[in-house]
Every structure is written in C-alpha cells, then in structure tokens.
Structure 1
Amino acid sequence: MTCNIYSVAAQYTGHVFVDNNGNHRYDRGEKVLPGVSVSDGLNVVQTDKDGKFELSGHANARFIYITLPAGYRTDTYYQRIADDMNSYDFELQPANPKSIKSDGTHRFIHISDTHMYDSYLTALDGYAASSKDLRDYVENEDIAFLIHTGDVAREGFASYKYFLNNENMPASQVFYCIGNHDLGSGKYGEESFENHFGPAYYSFEVGNIHYIVTPMPGGDGKPDFTQERIGQWLKNDLKYVPAGKPIISFNHSVMSGDGHFRFGSNETGFIDLTEYNLKAWIYGHWHHDRMYHYDGSDVLMICSPGHVRGSYDHSPSSFRVLTTGPQGQLSSEIRYPYIDKSVTISSIDNGMAATLSDGTVPLSVNTYSSVSPVRKVSYSCFSRGKKYLSDRPLKQNSDFNWSDNIALPSSLDNQIVTVKVTATFANGEVSQESASFCYRNATNTQVKVNEDWTNLLQNAAHVPELKDTLQLPLQLAWVQNIGANIYFSSPLIYKGAIYAASLDDNGLGKASVTCMDAQTGQIRWQYPLRHSVRSSIAAEDGCIFAQDINGWLYAVDAATGKLVWEKDLEMDKQVPLDNGLVTSDGVVYAGTGRSLCAFQAKTGELIWQNKDWDTGHGTSSTFSVNNGILVGQAFWEAAYANDARSGQKLWSRGGYGFGSSAAMHGGLIYSISNRSLFIVDAKTGKRLIQKTYDFELKNLSTPLVTNDEIIFGTAENGVVAVDRNTLEVKWRFRTGRAMIYTVPTLGDPASPVEASPVLSGDIVYVGASDGALYALNRKDGQLLWKHAMGAPVLATVAVSGNALFVSDFAGNVYGFISK
C-alpha cells in the first residue's frame, strides 16, 4: 500500500493509452497500458489491466504525472491539477523504433547550465545556432531523449523552451531538471519552473533503465518541495521497480561527497539510491566536463556544461552523447556545435607539404560536423591532368583527425600535385576540399633544436628568452597525431624530444603524455594517465610532469617513458584540477588551493603543502614562478602568491574573475582578467595599474611584454597590442570565427584567442580558436603568414633553433622549420 503521511485532498482518476488516431483523447478500442506508474508528487500507483488509475492526492499536489514507460513518447507526461477536474488521461505514442536496440541499448544527450535570458531569443549569442545543431543531431542519430539538468535559467524559461521541446523534436523526448538559479520569486521557489517545464521531480523509463530526476534542494528562492517529501516519493516510486533493475539519476548538482545519495528526514527515514542499483549520477552546476568515481563507490559521476557558450573553467560549449547499455553501463561522446561539414587538409598549405624520409607525403585531414559523425574520409591525387591515386581511405585518429602517408611516383618530383579529400558524414552529406603543393621526393627539411622549452612559454616566469629568430615562410617538417584531443597543454622541447599531453573527458582511456622525436615526429613512447590533462605540463631533472583533473601528479622519465613517481594530491573530487603545473630549480609545483604542493622533482619528496588558501573552482591558468615567488589564480576568487621555498602565503588580491597565467618580468606581474590588463608588484601584490578596455579578456592568453608593446589575445576580438607606456591600443588583428567556444560565458559569433603570443625577431606567432596559426608583424599587427589547421589551436607554440612546434585540438602536433 502506498505510504502517505500527508492528508488526502482529492481523488484523481484517468487512463494511460496509445493515441492511435492522434485526436488527443481516449477512444474505445485504443490500446491501454497497464502497469504504468502515476504520481501526484508523493503517492504512486500503477494503472490496472484496463489502463486506469485511481490516485488519492495530497495537500501539496499540483500535478498528476506518469512514469513514461519504455518504448513510448509523449508531448507531455504531466498535467496540472485543476480545481474543477478530477480525471486526467495521458496519451502516448510509440517511440522512434530506431532509438532503442533490441537489447535495450539507447543513446541520450545531456546538457546543463545554459543560463538563458529573453534577450537572447533574437540576439546573435549562439542559442539559436547551437540549439539547431543539437536538434539536427538528435534527428540524424535517432537519440532516445535529451535532458537538461538545470539552470536554464528562470529569466528565460519561455524563450529557451522555443529552442528545445517535444514539438520540435518529435522523434525524441525532452526532459528538464531544476537548478539553483531556476528557483526564484513567486509563491514558492519552483513556481515559474513548473509553469514551463512541469514537476521538479519525476521518473521515466527507456530500454531497461529506470531514470530518476530529483531537484537541487535550494537556490535563489525557497522551494516548496522538501527532502522529506522527495524521500517519500522515491520510496513509493521505487517499490514498483524490480529489484536489480539499473537506475540512473539526474540532478542539478551533487548531493554529497561520499558517493551516497540520500533523501528523507530523521522523522520519516532516509532512502539511499546506492542501495537500488544506482549506476550513475548525472549533473551540471559546476560548468565542466567530468567523468569520475568517488573513492570506494561504483556510481559513475558525470558532469556536463552547456551547448551554447564556454564554461567557467574553459570547458568547451558542447553536448554529451551518452550510450546506455542493457545493464546500465554508460559510454560517452562529447560533441561540439557551430561546425558545418568542415574539412581542412592541415598538412598542406601555402603550396607546401612535408616529405618524409621514405619519400611519402604525410596527409593529415581535420574534418567535423556538429550534426552528424564522420563515417569515411578518402582522397585522390592529380598531377598534369592525370589521376594518380583514387579514393584512398584515411585512418581515423581522433574525433577530428584522419591521416595517411601519400606514396607518389618519383616521376612527379618537382611537379604540382593536387590532393582532393572527400569526407562522408553519417547523415549522407558530403564535403570536399582540395590543396596543391610542389612535390619533392626527397626531404629537404631538417629540424634543429637548441634551447629547451620546459614550461609554458619556455620557463617558469612565462617570459621566453629566445636566442633564435625564425624566418618566414615556415615549412612543415612533420605532423603527428597522438590519438586524443589536446587542450591548453602546450608542447615541450626537452633534450631533443617533443612532449604533449592529451584530453580524455569521455573516460575512454586515451589520456596520456606522449614523447615524439623532434626531427621526425615519430612517437617514442606514450605513458597512459588516469584522466585528462587540461593545461600545462613541464620538464625538470630528466622527468616530464603532468597532473590530471582528478588530482594525480605524474613524474615520467623523459627518456624511457617509465613512471618515476606519482602522487595523489587528494583533491576534492567535485573540483577539477584544471590548472597547469610549473617547474623551477629542481622543484615541481602542482595542485591548487590546499592541495598545492612543492615536491623535489627527482624523488617526489614533499617540500611543503599550502595551508593558507583554498579554492572551490577549477582554473585553467598555469602557476608562475620567479625570484622565489609562486603566483596562481582561482577564478571568481583571487590571485595568490606563496613563498616558493616555504609555501607561506605572501599575499592575495580579490576581485579576480577569469583570465590568464601571469608573466613575471622585472619584479612585476602582467596578466589579463575580465576586461582589464593588470600590472602588479610581485612582492607585495599591490595593483600598480589596471587598464580597462572595451573588449572582454576572460581568456587564458598570457601577455607578451616587448620593449614597445604588450601583446595578448582577447576573448572575442582576436589579438591586440597596446603601447607599453600609455597602454592604449596600438593595433588589432581580428582572427576568424571560433570553431569551438572555450572562453567563460562567451558565445557565438566571436574570435577568441586562448593561446599566448610568442615573439621571434619582430614576428608574433599565435594560434587561434578559428583553427589557424598566425604570424603577425609586431609593430603594426599586419598578417605575414598563416597556416590553416581546421581544428582550434588553443595551446601556445614552442620555439627553439630553426623550429616551431604547435598542437591543435584534433590531437595533432606540428613541427615547422624556418627556411
């Protein structure tokens, strides 16, 4: 019998049926559905053999709603209770048969934290474009359902629902959760949410899985629901779920930090979902991409950001596609909006291509479509009016990259060769791209590296000291894909090798540190990591150091790729370790907040651990060290300085929003944040100058300080140089529209540059989110040279000898040489 501790207020009846003729009412002879759970927000009953239900109701009941059964969809699974109405029928339609396999396997999309405002309905802020990409992907890929886990937010409920609803995605189903910013003014906190999206907690079934949606317990307004009532409802809901049936739960945030998920009260008792075969807890709120487990827990934790704009820790605008297996096992694929059948031959540009030692030409193609996966990439080669190679397949290396080595006959030496690439997408669309080059059947490129590049921007102060000058045009010597995306982790140059670290926010085991030969790009070794590396790695005392987002620090032998030592920094699992580490004078500085530590690089011996400041957010910038001072940031909080030798906090300065790693030069700190350039005294933290501009500076680009200028990327307007004395804008260079948006709160269209500029001679080299590497004149910002990659270039270049090394988001590392 259903447990009901609240007084009975009414009695409700109705049918659950299949609306075969689409007239929105139950007609004799239409299929009725027995065994469907129906609830009033506390009590739960099931329909009888005739599809009928009787529900007692309770004093706080505002909706009658069903647990949508597997194999069906509906335009609305809930109905608001009316004073003059006691009968509520629910019309269902068969679900898209292609969306669920015979064993119950299906896919759904998770998004969160879109923070919609009514003004965005017609504004060019990416909502319309990214939502259309999302809808098209749902249709193309037969997605079973889409769920938004909260913070729509309340100012834009009506507008956002125009973009994603059951009417404009008729082959799928849309569900919403309530977030802290969805709770607001009214008779009760969830009133506005209910008016647009229905109940704040409910369940539904797809395939073999019982899905549960619960609300965030509090927020900007006080809710009417209580943890006690939700606990009672959960007990009533789950009593109809067979023992052992997999359960997946959605909420706006995380209930606790111990891997348990409890609802109830001391008076009525608690229910812990981990006792009901809970497979995953899927949430938002933190605005980042995460997949992890709490220690000792089998429950998979999954966090995803929004599809519209970059997130607070620079997680990209994206939507997560989750595949649910028959027993509730989950696999993930992160997808990116705004990219329309893009194809770029990244290894051929400016009429040049590399030639390898065996005479072959490396062919690297970056291709992507937001609305459909790439199924096949092939190429043909032409010269002197003749086709030499026809429809040769390329091998897929990552979500963006495909490659092959082109073997051409020696008779084509010194001839113009055209490569035509065809990308075929799963929805049947096709995109083509061609590029031409003068073929040389013997390599005439030799990489010569001199100074090591052991940290972001060469050294711990992030102020490069280049002794070599590159001459344009640059010639590609080699390109190597490391098998996974590369985010803000810039290449290192160390003892004649190149090192890169990769991203794996899908939990596929692809995160690694990779060592490549500087001369050829050939992979010497790869060391697998537990989780993603988002930001800078570093080298010191014969080791390569990396830290993953779950707080593991690795010291890997630079020559052999074997682990020397590792440390669990014991991070709060809810807060990702996004930031980059730094090495200096035999010490590696890793972690953040109270997990910030200094270790002996050779041995891993702890020197000190920070006790003076903490952070509750992930920050993608990198620590800086100079003259015994360690400087770091925590977004939304403050900038901090610690004594690099003792760990004692020297100073902190509040008001830090989002921004770059610090360049430490001449006793000063140069950084950008929000809309300002800051110059700060490194010893005292005194803010000497804050120059505010009319453009956003929430990006990670560390300022380049020259004799005459300070040059940095911007969040939306490409690259800017300001006069070093007056700090007035000297020149601007606008890069192209971003392929992926990573800058916090920044949406489409914009031209962000997250990478830091590097100066060689009078030429500034910088990559951009539009998928290109640029060479600009330092004095006036004029474009001197460009190489198109076709995937965002988020990491900073590294320069040594006659070579420049750069990575792209597709997982490619490029070695260029100065001719």
Structure 2
Amino acid sequence: MPVIVRVLLCLSLVLPVAALALPPPCNSGRVFEDRDGDGRWSRGDRPLPGVLVSDGVRLVRTDAQGGYGLPVEDGRTIFVVKPAGHAFPTGGDGLPEFWRHQQYHAGPTLKYGGIPDGFPACRDFALRRAAPSRGDLDVLVFADPQAKTQAQVDYYDRDIIAPLVAAANGRPAAALGLTLGDIANDDLSLYPALKAATARLRTPWLHAAGNHDLDFDAATDEDSLRSFRNAFGPDTFAWEEPQASFIVLDDVIYRPGQKPAYVGGLREEQFTWLAAYLDTLARDRRLVIAAHIPFFDEPGRETFRRADRERLFALLAPFSKVLLLSGHGHVQRHHYHDADDGWHGASPLHEYNVGAACGGYWGGAPDAAGLPDARMSDGTPNGYARLRLARDGGYALHWHAARAGDEAMSLHAPKVLRRGHWPGVGLFANVYMGEAGTRVEVRIDGGEWQPMRRVDAADPALVAENLLDDLATALRGYDRLPEAEASTHLWRFNLPTDLAAGEHAFEVRAFDRWRGELRASGSYRLVDAAE
C-alpha cells in the first residue's frame, strides 16, 4: 500500500476518535436526593422535581425525574437554588457544591486565571435532607476581610476565624455564612488561603463580589468577575432556608478606562433573573438581599445608580419583609430607605451596612498577639455580625467586636478635671449598633439617669490614636489607623465639675432594639487646683 494511502487511512481512523474525545457542549443534568451520600446518582436515590436551576439569566424547574436543561452559552455559571430543608455536599475547598461553569471555548486571558475552558460535560447536582430546624436560623455575616498579603490572611484567621472555631467546639459555627465582598484586596491569588481559613468554620458559606475582587485586566464588566466566579461560583444567585430566601447580588459595575472605575448598580440580565425568581415567592416571604456596595448614596454623589435602585426597589416593593445587607464602607451604620431613595413599600426599608472584618484595613498599632488595632473610621472595632432569622420573618442583628467579647459600646472621657471648671468637657459613648432613635442615658455616682445627646462627630478615642501616629517618630504599626470621620452612632454628655473632689463613677446604658438594655461604665476624677 502506498505511503500516502496509509497516512490517509490512519487519519480517517484517528480523527473520529479525537473528535469524540471532546464531548459536545452540554447544559443539562439531574437534581436528586443523594440518599447513600456517594455524590452520584445511583439506585435508591430520589429525583427532586420542581427545584430551580439557573444560568444567571434563565430560570427553569426540574421535571418529574429531576431533570433540567438550559441553552448552551459559553461563560455562564449554572447553579441550583438550594431548596429549604436540603443541603449541598461540601467540596474540597469547604464550599457547598451548588454550581458549575459552562466554558467550552477559552475565555479571555486574565492575570488571575479567569474561568479555564474544559467544562463541557453535563452535571448532576446532589442534595441531602437537612436536619429539621428547631428555631431561629443563625447566620454569620462578614464584610470586607480584604487581605492584601499573606500576613493579613493570618490576621483574618487568628482574629476572626479562630475565636469562632474555639467557641463552636467542633460543631459548625453557624447554620449559614455570608461574606459581603472584598474578600481579597486586589490580589486574587490569596483566595485559596482565605477559603481555607473560612472553611474551618464548617459552615455553608456564600460570597458576594466586591470592587476589590475584580479582574482589573478584563475588558468589560461582564468579564470582570471571572476569577471570582472560578473561586466562589455565581455572582448573582439565590439560596433558600425555611426562615428566608437569600438573594446575593453583584452590584459592582466595572467601567474600564473611566473614573471612577466602578459604580454601584445592576446589569440588565440581573434584573431579568431577579424578576423571574421573585415571581416564584410568596409576598410575605422574608427576603435577605446581600451585596457589597450600599444601596444608598454617599452625601453629594451618586454611588449607586439611582435608576437601578428605583428599578430594584420596584421589584421588591410587593414584599412585606425585606432586609438589605451591604459592606464596602468600613463603618457601621443603619439606613432606612423611603420615597426619597425610590422606595415605596408599606414601611421604610432597612439596610444594615455591616462593619468590616478587616476594620480599618488591618491598620493600627499591634497588640501583644501581634494583631493590629484595626478600628474603623467611625471608631467601631473590627469584627463581624450575627443575623438571627425567625420562622415568622422576624430578625435580630448583633455586632461582635473581634477582641472585645460582647462589648456593645466604647466610652471616652477625661481622666481628671479641675473641680469648678466650666462644665463643657464631654463623655462620649460610641454605641456600635446605635441608630438615630436609640435611647442612650448616663448617671453619675448612681444618681438619676440623664439623656445623652447624639452628635455627628468623630470618635475622640480614634482622634487620639491619629494624633499618636502623627507624633510618633517611628511607625507604630505597618499601616496607620484610618483618619477619624463623623460617626452615626456617637452620643455626648457634659461631665459635671461641681461635685466633691475625688473619683466619680459614670454608667452609660443604651437600649438596643434587639438586645435590650446594654451597659458600660468608667470614672473620672475631680481635683482642686490653685492658679
């Protein structure tokens, strides 16, 4: 046989086999109850009909056999909306396995990898029955861990994670966890280490994307979260528990080449998906909307596109129980949306802007354990929140300062004053979860309770730290604490100077809407002095 004929014959045999080695794109599969726990559909497992599956735009329900099918579109992330009463298995990275990518052809080349090709195969999703909930749902809420170095990953692990692990004593730290963006600080190569730290909590964990989680070398907003999605899954999705539906939104619109490089808002496909999902829910269902950039604007500038906010609020308005959670600001505050913001629901819409896990960007002088002070610009210590959700839709929020135990407020007062001095020197109470209407009172030497006055001012304790940094001739820490800014939860009282010389005790109480009466105490001294 001539050589050329032999070659052609070999090619005719090899090419079909090579073509079959790469299966055609596929976007279908099965959702099932994995009764034997092996992660694969097998005899004895039960199909789960009626479960929602999505590619971020389209939303379909599984059929009687648990099957689903979606159009094939490169770059999509397919996910299952976890039904209440079920749980996903945990992957090797500690995250729940509820998603997969559809990336048949190579996507854009990005510094941190993006989504690699090679995800053409169909995928089944396994679920298991969850233990019945016997009370409130306990949710850990982190905002802005924002590590930019491996040392800061270690701070996150020791300061935030380790105490929670110790308190859990071998059990999951909570029923569910949320991180509200800025997981890393632009260096996305730190994702594996950050995931490993969070996985020690043994808690199903969901992640929103932040402006420091972007692929800044992406050419479009649509491609700017490819590396984030490869690490954490879809950027916009839903997750259901008996007490609430959680809706996680990417609300960072990346604008390459523009200033500012990003703005708060939503993409058209997100509105399409959200409208479809909300149509599946009862109007009295508790909704928890989790995102990075706050939905309110900063004074004097549009930080969240007003048209997008009004459109989002119009979709949410029919629901009677909505809570917004956001991060980004590295302060702690509450905002109640009304008609001025485009909210036309029956009552003001509560947004809790959660303080940062990294606080003031892991800045400040270190303590004896080598952990930086990390106070935020409003004087709130770094830490995390707990959200408790009841089956009737009620909720409670609690801020946990990382190294201050159950401390609810910090007090600042002079140590000593001249007896008879003009009584205009202030005692300040920074009530971390305080709101505009929070009642805060003080009493001196066990006397009558007197009201404290809320002030828009900087926490003087943080101002003092700023001055110490200014006056120091050597660095007090790797980075300084942020410059003190006006706090939304600071109260003031003029200390009396017409009392007897000596030590005088003061006690402050604040009435938290969820925890009730909270107290803190201290003292100051009056001395006689001759001019």
TM interval, shorter chain, is 0.5 to 0.7
CA distance in 2, matches of 1:252, 1:449: 48
**More strand per residue:** 1
1:319 Cα deviation from its structure 2 partner: 1.1
- 1:812 aligned residue: 521
Change (3 A) 1:210 1:295: same
Change (3 A) 1:186 1:280: same
Would you say the 8 A contact 2:214–2:225 is kept in 1?
yes
- 2:348 partner amino acid: D
- 1:316 aligned residue: 381
CA distance in 1, matches of 2:51, 2:124: 12
Change (3 A) 1:14 1:672: closer
CA distance in 1, matches of 2:41, 2:30: 8
Would you say the 8 A contact 1:321–1:333 is kept in 2?
yes
Correspondence 1:210 to 2:256: no
- 2:423 aligned residue: 454
- 1:50 aligned residue: 65
CA distance in 2, matches of 1:88, 1:315: 45
- 2:99 aligned residue: 78
- 1:159 aligned residue: 193
Residue from 157, 170, 177 that aligns with 1:146 = 177
- 2:56 aligned residue: 41
SS in 1 for 2:146: coil
1:219 Cα deviation from its structure 2 partner: 4.7
- CA deviation profile, 1:787-811 (whole Å, cap 9, x unmatched): xxxxxxxx99998863345769961
SS in 2 for 1:45: strand
Is there any run of 5+ residues in structure 1 with no aligned partner, and where? Answer: 1-8, 340-367, 370-397, 402-446, 459-489, 492-499, 528-544, 549-576, 580-618, 623-658, 662-670, 678-690, 699-714, 716-742, 747-794
Change (3 A) 1:305 1:248: same
Please say which of residues 281-290 and 292-301 is displaced more in the overlay.
Answer: 292-301
Correspondence 1:87 to 2:116: no
- 1:740 aligned residue: none
CA distance in 1, matches of 2:469, 2:496: 27
Correspondence 1:282 to 2:63: no
Structure 2 counterparts to residues 469-548 of structure 1, below 5 A? 491=427, 501=429, 503=431, 505=433, 511-516=439-444, 521-527=445-451, 546-548=453-455
Would you say the 8 A contact 2:87–2:129 is kept in 1?
yes
CA distance in 2, matches of 1:449, 1:511: 30
CA distance in 2, matches of 1:674, 1:80: 51
Change (3 A) 1:319 1:264: closer
Percent identity, please: 19
SS in 1 for 2:194: helix
- 1:620 aligned residue: 459
1:334 Cα deviation from its structure 2 partner: 1.4
CA distance in 2, matches of 1:140, 1:235: 37
- 2:77 aligned residue: 63
Change (3 A) 1:522 1:30: same
Would you say the 8 A contact 2:164–2:201 is kept in 1?
no
1:185 Cα deviation from its structure 2 partner: 2.5
Structure 2 counterparts to residues 267-416 of structure 1, below 5 A? 272-277=315-320, 279-295=322-338, 297-308=347-358, 309-338=374-403, 368=405
1:120 Cα deviation from its structure 2 partner: 2.0
1:70 Cα deviation from its structure 2 partner: 1.3
Structure possessing the higher relative contact order (Cα contacts under 8 Å, 6 or more residues apart): 2
- 1:134 aligned residue: 164
- 1:231 aligned residue: 271
- 2:55 partner amino acid: D
- CA deviation profile, 1:584-613 (whole Å, cap 9, x unmatched): xxxxxxxxxxxxxxxxxxxxxxxxxxxxxx
Would you say the 8 A contact 1:109–1:145 is kept in 2?
yes
CA distance in 2, matches of 1:504, 1:338: 14
Equivalent residue pairs, number? 419
Would you say the 8 A contact 1:261–1:274 is kept in 2?
no
- CA deviation profile, 1:333-368 (whole Å, cap 9, x unmatched): 1123346xxxxxxxxxxxxxxxxxxxxxxxxxxxx5
1:510 Cα deviation from its structure 2 partner: 5.7
- 1:546 partner amino acid: R
1:307 Cα deviation from its structure 2 partner: 2.9
1:263 Cα deviation from its structure 2 partner: 7.9
Structure 2 counterparts to residues 687-698 of structure 1, below 5 A? 693-696=474-477
- CA deviation profile, 1:662-705 (whole Å, cap 9, x unmatched): xxxxxxxxx9558423xxxxxxxxxxxxx75332598xxxxxxx
Would you say the 8 A contact 1:113–1:285 is kept in 2?
yes
CA distance in 2, matches of 1:71, 1:312: 41
- 2:100 partner amino acid: Q
1:327 Cα deviation from its structure 2 partner: 3.6
- 2:362 aligned residue: none
Please say which of residues 81-90 and 314-323 is displaced more in the overlay.
Answer: 81-90
Residue from 44, 48, 52 that aligns with 1:29 = 44
- 1:159 partner amino acid: A
1:159 Cα deviation from its structure 2 partner: 2.1
Residue from 180, 184, 198 that aligns with 2:211 = 180
1:162 Cα deviation from its structure 2 partner: 1.4
1:184 Cα deviation from its structure 2 partner: 2.7
Would you say the 8 A contact 1:448–1:802 is kept in 2?
no
- 1:72 partner amino acid: H
Change (3 A) 1:524 1:803: same
**More helix per residue:** 2
- Superposed CA RMSD in Å reads 4.2
- 1:253 partner amino acid: I
Residue from 463, 466, 473 that aligns with 1:660 = 463
- 2:198 partner amino acid: L
- 2:134 aligned residue: 101
Would you say the 8 A contact 1:183–1:218 is kept in 2?
no
Greater Rg over alpha carbons, structure: 1
- CA deviation profile, 1:20-51 (whole Å, cap 9, x unmatched): 33322121221332222110111011112322
1:157 Cα deviation from its structure 2 partner: 2.1
Per the normalisation by structure 1, the TM-score is: 0.45
- 1:587 aligned residue: none
CA distance in 1, matches of 2:194, 2:147: 6
- 1:240 aligned residue: 280
1:194 Cα deviation from its structure 2 partner: 1.1
Change (3 A) 1:162 1:133: same
CA distance in 1, matches of 2:150, 2:268: 38
- 2:247 partner amino acid: I
